[in-house]
Each structure stands twice: as C-alpha cells, then as structure tokens.
Amino acid sequence: GTILVDNMLIKGTAGGPDPTIELSLKDNVDYWVILDPIKQTLYLNSTGRVLDRDPPVSIQSIVVQVQCVNKKVGTVINHEVRIVVRDRNDNSPQFQQQHYHVAVNELTPVGTTIFTGFSGNNGAIDIDDGPNGQIEYVIQYNPNDKTSNRTFDIPLTLSGAVVLRERLNYEEKTRYFVIVQANDRAQNLNERRTSTTTLTVDVLDGDDLGPMFLPCVLVNNTRDCRPLTYQASLPELTDPARVNPISVTPPIQAIDQDRNIQPPSERPGILYSILVGTPEDYPQYFHMNLTTAELTLLKPINRDLHQKFDLVIKAEQDNGHPLPAFANLHIEILDENNQRPYFTRSTYEGFILESSPVGTTISDNRNLTSPLQVVVLDNDVEETKDPQLHLFLNDYTTFFTVTQSGITRYLTLLQPVDREVQQLYTFSMTASDGVQESVPVTVNILVIDANDNTPTFSNISYNVKIYTDMRPGEGVIKLTAVDADEGANGQIVYEILAGDQGHFTINDRTGLITIAPGVLLEVGRSYALTVRASDSAPPAQRRSSITTVYIEVLPPNNQSPPRFPQLMYSLEVSEAMRIGAVLLNLQAFDREGDPIKYLIQNGDPQQVFNLSQSSGLLALGKPLDRESTDRYILIVTASDGRPDGTSTATVNIVVTDVNDNGPIFDMFLPKNLSVQEEEANAFVGQVRATDADAGVNGQVHYSLANFKNLFRITSNGSIYTAVKLNREVRDYYELIVEATDRAADPRRSTLTLAIKVLDIDDNSPVFTNASYTVYVPENLPPGTVFLQLEAKDVDLGADVNYRIRTEEARQYFALNKHTGELSLRKSLDYESFSDTEATFTFLVEAFDSKGTMPPGLATVTVRVKDMNDYSPAFSQKLYRGMVAPNAVKGTLITTVSAEDQDPPGTPASLVRYKVDVVQFPYSASIFDVEENSGRVVTRVNLNEEPSTVFKLVVIAYDDGDPVKFNTTTVEIAVLQPSVIPRFTQDEYRPPPVSESAPKGTVVAVVTAAALNQTIVYSIVSGNEEDVFAINNRTGVISVKKPLDYESVPSYELRVQADSLQVVRSNLRVPSKSNTARVFIEVKDENDHVPVFTKKMYIGGVSEDARMFSSVLKVKADDKDTGNYSAMQYRLIIPPIKDGKEGFVIEAYTGLIKTAMLFKNMRRSYFKFQVIATDDYGKGLSSKAEVLVSVVNQLDMQVIVSNVPPTLVEQNKDQLIGILERYVQDQIPGATVVVESIGARRFGDGYSEEDYTKSDLMVYAIDPQTNRAIMRNELFK
C-alpha cells in the first residue's frame, strides 16, 4: 500500500462518464506494483511478502511499463517507470570464523601489526549496501582479560589490522583474549549494527632474560633472586689430582630464564667463567670449565699465603646476546688435620681357612693367594707418606687384629676359628688420627672349611642276627657315620674292608649292608665285617674311621625282635615348626609280622614330641624355643610284646633358629644427653642392644631414623655429631636410634634419646631490618623520638646495647643505649639543605655487652619532610565560558589554572582541582572540572535554556601536609542555538587523494550554517602533523605537506565551525552540530623502486642436474601496495654455448632453473643479472647480480642429524645460517648450499634407510674464487 508515484501527471481522464485515456501496467514482474488509473497513482504490492534489497532476494529496482491508450485517436504510448529500492540497515556484520588465533613473540616492537586476519573475506561480512555494509573494527573491553584492550589496538578501523600498543612479557602473561567488535557504518549512529568475536593472542617466549643461578631464593614476592654465594673448602697443600673437580655446595648451575623459546634449537647455551676475585692471583690456582662450570685446582695452595678466595662467577648466553648473571664463590683453605681419614673402600671381603694358626693374614680371595689390603688415607697427609692412623675394630677383637702402621694395613688372626662353630664374622672398622674419625667401613670375613673332622660311627661295633631264609638283596643293617665338614670334606663313602667272604655288599653312599646275590646262608655261621667310612677330600687330606659288624646266622623259626632301619636318626627342626607337623617315620620291621608298639623311652621330659604307638610317626606336640632348648636326644623303642622283643633307636633333633627375637636396648644407659654447639664429630652418647637369636639373626646393626644429616652412629652404638650444630636454629632433638638384626627379614626396635644443644657465644645481634628509612617533619623540637630500633641476639643471656657508629650523625641524632629509641639532638630545617632532597644516611650498631662477637649493623636513612608553606593561587579571580544548550557530556568549556610556590616536585607543589558542591549545587551537578588539567567540562548532556548564566566555584588544592587550597569562580553562559553553526553532514568522505598530490590540492569542502552569523572553520584534531590546511572562511580542506601512503594510508580529521562572534570572544563552543568528521583516504602511487634482499645471489648446480632443476630463488620487495608491489623477474645473461642462455627464471616467483646440462663442467661458474620490475613488469625496476658455480660429489660434505628429514626441512634456513656462521669464520662471505635432505642411510652399500634421522649433502661457494670450497677444507 506504500505510494510509489503520487501522480503520473498524464493528460487526460481515465475515469468518469467520459474517459479520454485508458491506463494499464505492462511487464509488471511478480506484480510488485498496483496502478490506480483514476488517480494515476502507483502503489507497492507487498502483501504477504517483504521487499528485500539484500541477498538472496536482491531486488535493487522495479521496472514497469504504464501503457496509455488515447481513446479518441487510438494512439498507444508506453511510459517506463523505474523504482529504485534503497537499502535499509537490517543486517548485522557476521564474522566468517567462530574464533581467531595468532601467535606473537614477546620481543615484537610496539606499533607492529600482529594480525591481518580480518582482511578480505576472512573477517566480518555485512550483506547490506553502501555504508550499511561497510565494516569497521574496534577492540572492546574484556572484563575477563582486563589488559587486552590496552595492549592491542586497531588504529585503521576499516582494515581491521591489529597493532601491538604495549610491550608483551611472556613471563607475566602468555595469552590474551581480545574481544573485537565489527560494526557497520550506517549514517545514523543509533541504527548501526554490531557483532563480536574473540581473537586469541598467544605470546611466544623470546630471548629477553638471561641466565639465573640456582638455587633461586626469591626476594619478598618478586621475581628477583637473592644474591647467591657458593661454598667450597680445600685442604692446604693438597695435590690437585686428589680434589679435582672441586666439590662446591650447592653445585654451580645456571639455567636460562627463557625456558620456552621455540624452536628449541634457538635456545642459547650457557657459558661460565670467573669474572674477578680476591686475592688477585686467583687465576694461578683455579680454572672454571666454560660449559660445565666444573671448578678445578691448578696447583697446591699454601695456607700461610692464602686463607680464602672470594670469586665472582659469571654465566652468560652463547648466542651473542649475553645477558650475564653473577654469583659469589667463597673458597676456604683448611688448615692441616682438618680432614677426617677415609678408607678407599666402603666394604671389605676377607677369607681365612679354619684351623689356621694364630698370626695368619686374612686373604682377599677364596684361593687364599693374596692378602686382604686395607688402605686408609688422610687428606692432611701426602698419599706417599704413612698417615700414622690408629685403626680399631668394633667387634670380634679377640679373633682379629689389624696392623698399626703403613698406608696399607692387614688383618691377622688372634685365635683359631672353627667353621663348624661360626662361618661368617661381620664387624665394622674405624680409623682415627687422634682428632678426626673416619666413617666406619664394614668387614666380612668368611671362614673356609678345612678337612679337620673325621667321619664317626655312632658305635664302635654292631651286632646283627640274620636268618637262613633271608633272600639276596635283603637289608642286614644300615650304618651311619657323621662328618661336620662341608662339601667334599663332609661327603662320606662306605666300603667293606674285610670279613664279608663275598656274602655281603654295602652301598657306598647310604651305608646299607645287604646279602650278596647267589648267597645261601647256613645256620651257625658268623661273620665279622670291617667297614670303613671315608670323606671325599683329596687323597692326601682324606680322613676315615672303621667299625666292626658282627653277623650271626640263625634258623628261620628263631623269634627275633622288631628292627629299626637305622640305629641313629639325625634331623634339624625349625623352632617355628607348627604343632602337629610330622618330623620322622620311625617304622620298624618285624620278621614274624607281629604288631609293633612304639614308645619314647627317654629324652623328652616336657613331652614336646608325640610318637604314634602304632605307626611310629614322630610329630611335634608343643612349640619349640631354641633359646630355651636347642637340642633333643630321644631314645625310642619298638616292641612286639614278647620277651626280648624290644629294640631301640636314637633320634638326635637339633632345633634351628628363626628370627623370633628383636634387639633389646640396654635401658640402664643414659637417654638424656647433651652436646655443645659448633662442634663437629663430638661424642654425644652410647647405646647398646642385644638379640637372643643366633648367627646373623642375633647380630645387631645400629642406624638413625631421623636427623641423619646431623648425627651419626658407629657399629658399636657410639653417637657423634656429623656436622656443627647451631643451638640458635634448634636447641633440642629427639633422636630415634634403630637397632636391627641382620636376618633376611630383620626385626627392629627403636630408642628415643633426648639431646640438648648447649649454647656458646657465636652470634652477633641482628637488627630486625637491615635498613630503616624514616621521614621526619622539619621543625620538630629536640628530644623527639622518631624511630624505635630493635636488635636480637639469639645467644642465651645476651645483653644488647645500641650506639650510632657514624660520627657525623651524632651531632643531629641521639640513640638510647638500652631501649634503641632514636631521637633528635637539634631541630631540622628542610630549607637549610642545598640538595633537592634533605637526607641523612648513617650506620647504627648493636653489640652484646657480655659477648665477644662483632656488633650487628644497620643503615638508617632519615629524610627531612618539607611542610606545606603556600596555598595554590589562581591566575584569575573570575573565568568566563560559553556552552551550547544541548552540549554533550564531556564538552570543554574553559580551563582554569593555579600555581603553588612550594618547592617544585614536592607533594606540596602538586595542584589538583575539584568543584565546590556546596555553593551553586545545581551548577555542580551539570558541570565538572578535570582533577589534573583544570579543564571545565559538562558533566551531563545539557538541556538548558539559552541565555542562562551559571556560576561554578572551583577549588584548587595541593597535596602537602597540611593540605592548603584556594577558590575561583567560573561564569558559564548558555548560547542561543541560532548562533551555533550546524554542519550539513556529520561525516564527509571525499574521493581518495593521490600520495603525489602537490601542495594546495583540494581534498574536501565542508559546509556549516548559522542564522545571521559569519562562520569560521578550524581543524581541531587528527591533523597533528599539520598535513592539511582548511580555509577558515570557505571550509576548503587542501594538502599542506607531502603525503606518503606507506607511512599514513588514511586520516580522520575533526573539524569545527564557530560563529565569528564566538571566535572573537576567544571562547569556542563545541556542540553536537558544530563538529564533523572528515575521512581522507590516501591513494597509493608507484613511487618506490623494488629492492632485492641481496646485492648478489650465490648458488650452485650439480654436474648431473637435469634440465629445469631449481638452482636458487631471488626476491625483491617494494614498499608500495597492490600491483605496485607485484614483481616480474627476468634474466640478462650472455649465451653460454650453442646460443643457449643456460638458465631461465619463473617470471613471478623468482625461481631460477637450469636450461641446459652441465656434464663435465665442474669448477665452471656463471655470472649474470636478474631484473625485477614492479606492477607486473610495467613499473619501476632494479637489478642484482647472480653467481652460479658448477659442483659435483667431490665438493660435497655429508652432515648427519638425529632428527627426521621433515623437521630438518622445516628449519633449513636456520641450519644454513648456523653452517655459514662457522664457514665464514675462515672464508668471509662464503655461501652454504644444501644439495639434498634425506633419510639416514646405513647397512651394506647404504641400502637401508632410517626416517627418524637425516643425512644432509652440503657444499659451500667462495665468492673470491667463484668456485666451490674443496671438501677437505669444508670439513675443517
């Protein structure tokens, strides 16, 4: 229903009783137009649809034909009607990505463009037309990242390029979230549409911080480390070979504070050195490794000449950007006998043959071929001299002793040892020089078996009865002999020496005598067998014993008692054996098969064992305890119930030990101990523990459960201090001593000792602060206390006194000896000092009147505080200003100014401003004054009656003590709107102006009007460089200074129009209407020639290179933009042979390729020129030289790398830079060329490949000879 054309003004009448014309529509596509022929009016037909100029509908105009038929003459005339659809701002900008990301190095200079990702179609798109579709970008405040909007800026809002505004610091912040708003440029600001996106800016670590020595102890909550001092000590006259490398506490180490420089290959290494030191001849004695910081001694030091060295060590980066760090190294030269003795080994293993005679030396191997050497040294004594140390054993001193002289000592035997009694002796050994005691070492002596035991039968003779009906192979008796030796020495072999008459045999291992095959026994015969039991030692050492077995043959019907298989049984039973466990089967054999009854006849009064009367199984009936009874000998019987039907056997049971007892401390030794502070290796006390178990289960080992770094304990339970204790750090310790046995699963017990540290006078008083700074107002009376000092002495019973150490300060200040109160001796006057700052700095000291330690010092700085003498004074008593009745908030009206006569730079001279809200409160509600500048501005958007005059009282006050102030009055007149000019447009966007436009070229014309007023124009902002001028009467803006697109591509000027009357009153009246913005775009011209990145490009080509192989790439840059910076390259090259030019170049990439083959042309070279022309070959040109040298495999060197080829390829340029830096040290200007990068080849014929590593083929060209450097020279 919207009227498109109100009246077409066609002559004639289309309605009524006598119409003269007939009107109709033709070509009315989609019927967007409705015709009222009578009124000749066209309407829009938008029923049920929307007329949309934007995609996808995109209706930009509607064209119809209005056909007019003259009814009188019949003529037909077609009138074309074109309806233009104007755009409406109904679409918001839409970003093409949800998020944007960019990584920026922290060293990027302020002002650098860091992100251009909103350019083209990558940013926001608005499908509206004209200004409604033009996009501007601004950065918004992000409440979740409050620094992002001040760190980054978009100065050119149309381009969207993000510029760095503040310096980045990776160590403080590694990521920013920048909210970027895109808005269109609709003429009406209230109708503009916006959308936002987030730009994530990741900060990359740069090389801006140097090394830092470790450990770093931070100063107060800062990132600065406290000064660090490393400590070392050396015995005087020590051979360097014995102490190198010198042990430093803590170990010298520095790290680069930039820990995330990418790629890692760019991270610098650290170089160490000694910068300075005292005494000055320190270089004669010490050297520091450049890369490891290892400190070495160059020659022995005589303590009579030097007692200490204080060095300053430096750590710096090795990349030419040193950023050094410094630390102190204090080296103390120790007097003789400051070193504790030490063994060269921590454990000694020795061997001794049992039954060796007294005086035998312990051996170091089982073969007993060489003695065990115990070497103990003392750093206080040269290694070639006998240190004359006393060695003592902490156990088994009745069995072993150690020689007491010489560097090498030997352990010898004091009494014979028996392996069968004890096989292993373990004890500790300590060395002492009379003052210092070594760390104990462990000695293990293993007793090797000797064949000193003879196999022994249980009886001298045995009587056995056999029967004629016994068959061959049937057992007669089993003999058992016992040998306590081990191995072959204890392995028994049995044999019948005589008396068997071939009728009996014996098993040489078991001792069982049986009837020989084929033997028929005869009644009444008897035998006397001589049986020998021998061990298996070598024949010369073999031992044996014999017994006699008497055998009587009886008829078969003779009744015989039950017989045990053995007369003697031996077994070992653990004391941990469970009750009911079967220990032995004592089943006997009765020839007649009569029932047998078994009994324990003797040896078990406590009924520890149970013997089954029917089966003969021997079982455990009660718990065993080796510590109570370690052996049982049981006499058992087997009876068939007939007279003489009983036989006996002996069971020998040895109870073996289990670790069922823990060590028990001797509670009668003192548990409350004391030791004096500052004494190392001081005796503290003694503990003792015993264990009732046997062997290693009963051997006790002592250790400390806590404070292991402060105390140590020897193997005999003696406790010493390991370091010097400090009572002021801790005066009481509860030391837990742990005693364990040496079993595989040891038992342990603990004892807590109370140790009190006794005090000595070893501390100076320490002030609570190392320095004090206090402000004292001038003119205070003498005796005024202005500072309370306090020092503490952590020693017991200290009496701290105070005094001023700096004599010059005593005439001004007094320090109470006992209380530490610092007061004035005389009144201070700030103006009497000639310096800009009246300051006293002096030393105070605190000392212990009862002690001997030096006093503690502190620095006191007294700053005399100037008092406020003057009030601020305004330059005028009355200020006047004018303002528009509709002025917006923040409009400048006038500026007030006041000065203070107090000394410049002091708080009392600092003037600030505020509005007096008590007088004229309404004025104070609509006007304000800026605190620091004195600019009087509107507080709100005004809506006041013209010709009204407001009074505003402004206060100027200082920051002195006390605060002083003054006032002035500002009269503000509200102007008539008619005298305030109004611009015809809010914004002016003239056509772009060429950067080569001469001075005086007209850029734009602005126009404003006011009733009966003469208008004066001015540029109020955006023209800081004075590039443009404006005619103050005509509003013509012209070029005043040369333009440069590359420096400033666009300008935004703010112009203001004032009436001549206001200008003459020297009072400007800004308002909404009398200011406008002028947007001037500078048009780029081709005014810069291309510049090559190098004056000469040097490359190489292999003899076997194919046609059109890549040689090198040239590049030229142009400061112009667009096509003016687009290059076209060509070569100027003389023919090489057969009219061939040899090389060609890709016109738009600059890549030079071969155009011929170079077979057998090694050591040849070619020189030619390359031309770069901008504007795709139609603009300005420049040239560079190109050198190409022909090489082959003889010129190439293989470099291996332990990273994949892809990674090497990515870092190829950095790699070439590193190689060139090395090569150019010998051959200036040399160029390194990487021929190929491939996988590591290895194996036979190098046929296999490893893609986790790389082989690089490189060569280098000497610009002096124009040829490749020989391979052997390149290798160097």
Tens digit of each residue's pLDDT (9 = 90 or more) over 557-582: 556 788 888 889 999 999 989 999 99
Cα 347 from Cα 237, distance rounded (Å): 29
- The CATH number of the structural domain formed by 94-204 is 2.60.40.60
Indicate if the pLDDT at residue 57 is higher than 90. Answer: no
Section 503-524 average pLDDT: 92
Write the CB contacts of 1241 (distance below 8 Å, at least 6 apart in sequence). Answer: 1247, 1248, 1249, 1255
**Cα(1059)–Cα(1008) distance, integer angstroms:** 10
Give 176's contacts (C-beta < 8 A, 6+ positions apart): 145, 147, 148, 151, 152, 200, 201, 203
Q: For the segment 169-208, what is each residue's pLDDT rounded down to a tens digit?
A: 988 899 999 999 999 988 888 888 999 999 999 999 888 8
Q: Are 931 and 876 in contact (CB under 8 A)?
A: no
| Structure-token pair, residue 1233 | 């060329």
CA distance 1264 to 1245: 38
Token duo for residue 396: 């088994």
Say what the pLDDT of residue 943 is. Answer: 83
Whole-angstrom Cα distance, residue 598 to residue 614? 6
**pLDDT higher at 657 or 288:** 288
Q: Is the per-residue pLDDT at 550 higher than 90?
A: yes
The secondary structure element, H or E, covering residue 242 is helix 240-243
CATH architecture of 664-758: Sandwich (2.60)
pLDDT at 717: 92
Residue 551, pLDDT > 80, answer: yes
Task: Check residue 1138 and give its pLDDT.
Answer: 64
Q: Cβ neighbours of residue 963 under 8 Å, at least 6 residues apart?
A: 868, 957
Contact in structure between 554 and 526 (CB atoms under 8 Å): no
CA–CA separation, 938 vs 954, rounded Å?
A: 14
What number is the average pLDDT over the span 1161-1167? 89
The mean pLDDT of 444-461, rounded to a whole number, is 91
Q: Which CATH number fits domain 568-654: 2.60.40.10, 3.30.390.10, 2.60.40.60, 3.30.499.10?
A: 2.60.40.60
Instruction: Give the per-residue pLDDT at 194.
Output: 93
Q: What is the DSSP letter of 1035?
A: -
Residue range 384-394: average pLDDT? 83
pLDDT above 70 (res 393): yes
The answer, yes or no, to whether residue 338 has pLDDT greater than 70, is no
Looking at residues 988-999, what average pLDDT do you find?
Answer: 93
Quickly list DSSP for 979-1033.
GS-EES-SEE-PPPEETTPPTT-EEEE--EE-TT--EEEEEEES-TT--EEE-TT
pLDDT band (50, 70, 90) for residue 324: confident
Map residue 1149 onto helix, strand or coil: coil
Q: Answer whether 162's CB lies under 8 Å from 113's CB.
A: yes
912 neighbors 959 (Cβ within 8 angstroms): yes
Inter-CA distances, 676 with 282, 686, 721, 732, 737, Å: 37, 16, 10, 11, 20
218-227, 321-330, 674-683: least confidently modelled range: 218-227
Contact 932, 959 (CB under 8 A): no
Contact between 407 and 377 (Cβ < 8 Å): yes
Residue range 1057-1088, pLDDT digits in tens: 887 766 665 555 555 457 899 999 999 999 89
Q: Quick count: other Cβ atoms within 10 Å of Cβ 220?
A: 6
Q: List CB contacts of 708: < 8 A, sequence separation 6 or more.
A: 722
The DSSP string of 1041-1091 is S---TTT-SEEEEEEEEEEHHHHHTT-----STTEEEEEEEEEP------E
- Average pLDDT in the chain: 88
Q: Identify the CATH homologous superfamily for domain 211-334.
A: Cadherins (2.60.40.60)
What DSSP string runs through 899-960?
A: E--SPTTSGGG--EEEE-SSSSHHHHHHEEE-TTT-EEEESS-----TT-EEEEEEEEE--S
Helix H, strand E, coil C: the string for 683-713 is EEEECCEECCCCHHHHCEEEEECCCCCCEEE
- Whether the Cβ atoms of residue 1259 and residue 1274 lie closer than 8 Å to each other: yes
Top pLDDT among 1245 and 121 is at: 121
pLDDT at 277 over 80: yes
Rounded mean pLDDT, 1043-1060: 89
For residues 880 and 875, give the distance between their C-alpha atoms in angstroms, rounded to a whole number.
13
Higher local confidence (pLDDT), 693 or 928: 928
Length of the chain: 1276
Task: Please provide the CATH number assigned to the domain covering 873-974.
Answer: 2.60.40.60
Q: How far apart are CA 1202 and CA 807, in angstroms?
A: 69
Q: Which residue has the higher pLDDT, 1066 or 984?
A: 984
**pLDDT given for residue 1068 in this prediction:** 52
Confidence of residue 609 (pLDDT cuts 50, 70, 90): very high
- Distances, alpha carbon 216 to alpha carbons 225, 258, 960, in Å: 5, 15, 42
Average pLDDT value for residue range 1011-1024: 85
| Contact call for residues 550 and 462 (beta carbons, < 8 A) | yes
Q: What pLDDT score was predicted for residue 1137? A: 65
Side-chain half-sphere CA neighbours of 792 within 13 A: 4
Percent of the chain topping pLDDT 70: 97
Of the listed ranges 749-753, 933-937, 981-985, the one predicted with least confidence? 981-985
Q: pLDDT tens-digit profile of 88-119?
A: 888 889 998 888 999 999 889 888 899 998 88
pLDDT at 1197 over 60: yes
Domain assignments of the chain as residue spans, ordered by start: 11-84, 94-204, 211-334, 341-448, 456-540, 568-654, 664-758, 766-865, 873-974, 1193-1275
pLDDT of residue 227: 75
For 1210, the 3-state DSSP assignment is helix
pLDDT value at position 557? 58
Identify the CATH homologous superfamily for domain 341-448: Cadherins (2.60.40.60)
**pLDDT grade for 1202, boundaries at 50, 70 and 90:** confident
Domain 456-540 has CATH 3.30.70.250: no
CATH of domain 766-865: 2.60.40.60
Q: Which pLDDT score is estimated for 1066? A: 54
**Residue 4's pLDDT band (boundaries 50, 70, 90)?**
confident
More confident residue, 983 or 823: 823
- The 10s digit of each residue's pLDDT in 453-498 is 899 998 999 999 888 888 899 899 999 999 988 889 999 999 999 9
Q: What is the mean pLDDT of residues 601-624?
A: 93
Q: Per-residue pLDDT for 151 more than 60?
A: yes
Query: CATH topology of 94-204 equal to that of 664-758?
Result: yes
pLDDT at 706 over 90: yes
pLDDT of 1011 higher than 80: no
Alpha-carbon dihedral of residues 1210, 1213, 1216, 1217, nearest 10 degrees?
Answer: -130
The pLDDT value given to residue 452? 87
Answer whether residue 619 shows pLDDT above 70.
yes
Here the tokens at position 610 are 């149970």
CB of 486 closer than 8 Å to CB of 449: yes
Cα angle: 861, vertex 863, 867; to 5 degrees: 165
- The whole-model pTM stands at 0.33
Half-sphere exposure of 113 (CA within 13 A, CB side): 12
